Amino acid sequence: MGLVAYRLVFKGPIHMGTGREGDLADLNTLPRSDTLAAAIISLWRHVVSNASDRDITHLAEQPPFVISSAFPTLQVLGKWQPLIFVPVGIFDSLGSLPAGLRKTLKKVRFADPGSIGALLRGSFPDKWSIIGEALVGAELNGDLWSYQYRLRLQVDRLGDRPMEGRLYEFGGLHLGSEVRLTVLLDFIDDSCRPDVDAALRLLGDQGIGGDRTAGYGGFEIEKIDENFDPNLGAGARLSLSLLHPSPDEVDHGLLDVPAQYLITPRGGWTTPPSGAGFRRKPVNMLVEGSVVRDLSRPRYGDSPVVLNTSDGFGLSHPVFRPGGAVTIPINPPQGMR
């Protein structure tokens, strides 16, 4: 089975916090792969009624699927066009560019496959527009999304009353009316797809991210496309997920030439059923858009342990960080070959 694309239409704003303590206005742009994978796994018991604790632990350690981070999809000339993550450093590999354009390109994270193909060949598409964080191979106007913030009053949960003078900003991302989000799923075990589909639909009903009870983060699956293939060549792999390379992959040269990547720490909180929330150990991961060497393997990445039963938090099972990635073949960018 090839990559399966799920186009999601969100019913309200999205709040994806970075996990920075005390700052609810600090947002990730879109849902990321580790959060999505963990959310699906957390709902497994609701779609597989006979799943045991041992089954869930094994599922978290070795998921039978990998999922991409969400990326925008918008209508271009009457058709829905996915805007995938641009390869890290691709604009640096181009020739001389006007200083103003090079500065503008620093914020670009997404592009349509046609534009990425042109960039891999060392040139710009014939027609193009920059809309927010995206390079689109067409002349378009508008915004992908906007951020809106509102002041809220902190509440004393014990007394169920507002705390005078304790105001904070709460942020949300509002997608444009003609913008959808897409996630890609690569099924390691094809038999799990009905359960993953059911969990993803349930996640849409419950919502993802913060403030779900206020209508944030809810979505519906608008369309499913089988065998997603942007046809960007071969010779390297482009990660569309956060990627945690396994030690074996590193030993075999995953990060050798033509690799080009950036690293981000991923932390956050976890809350066991029997205790208060506490921070997970940060894990360094390769960001979306990282280019890695093609090791001729079907999949890349692993799920490291971020909290163990021996850490003194009363856990009955280890906590894993999903680090397996959806990757696609691409030609190595000019200057990285």
Structure tokens at 27: 């947002």
pLDDT at 113: 96
Determine phi and psi for 88, rounding to 5 degrees. Answer: -55, 130
Q: Is residue 181 part of a domain?
A: yes
In a domain, 336, yes or no: no
Residue 335 lies in a domain: no
Residues 6+ apart with CB under 8 A from 310: none
> Per residue in 82-140, pLDDT tens?
999 999 999 988 877 788 888 889 999 999 999 999 999 988 888 899 999 999 998 88
> Dihedral of the CA atoms 280, 20, 149, 157 (nearest 10)?
60
Does residue 111 belong to any structural domain of this protein?
A: yes
Helix (H, G, I), strand (E, B) or coil at 242: coil
Helix (H) or strand (E) holding 54: helix 53-61
Alpha-carbon distance 85 to 34, whole Å? 16
Distance of CA 224 to the CA centre of its chain: 18
Give the domain range for residue 263: 3-330
Q: 337 in a domain, yes or no?
A: no
Matching residue, tokens 């959808």: 180
Closest alpha carbon to 69 in 261, 206, 268, 242: 242
Segment 48-73 mean pLDDT: 94
Of 151, 142, 92, 144, nearest to 122 by C-alpha is 92
Residue 288 in domain: yes
Q: What are the backbone angles phi and psi of residue 106, rounded to the nearest 5°?
A: -60, -25
Give the lowest-confidence range in 64-68, 270-274, 309-313: 270-274
- Secondary structure tally for the chain: helices H, strands E: 7, 21
Answer yes or no: is 269 within a domain.
yes
Q: Tell me: the pLDDT tens digits for 186-196?
A: 999 999 999 99
pTM equals 0.90
User: Cβ neighbours of residue 204 under 8 Å, at least 6 residues apart?
Assistant: 8, 218, 219, 220, 221
Per the structure, how many domains does the chain have?
1
Contact 169, 148 (CB under 8 A): no
Q: Is the pLDDT of residue 22 over 60?
A: no
Task: Kindly tell me if the per-residue pLDDT of 234 is higher than 80.
Answer: yes
Whether residue 257 lies inside any domain: the answer is: yes
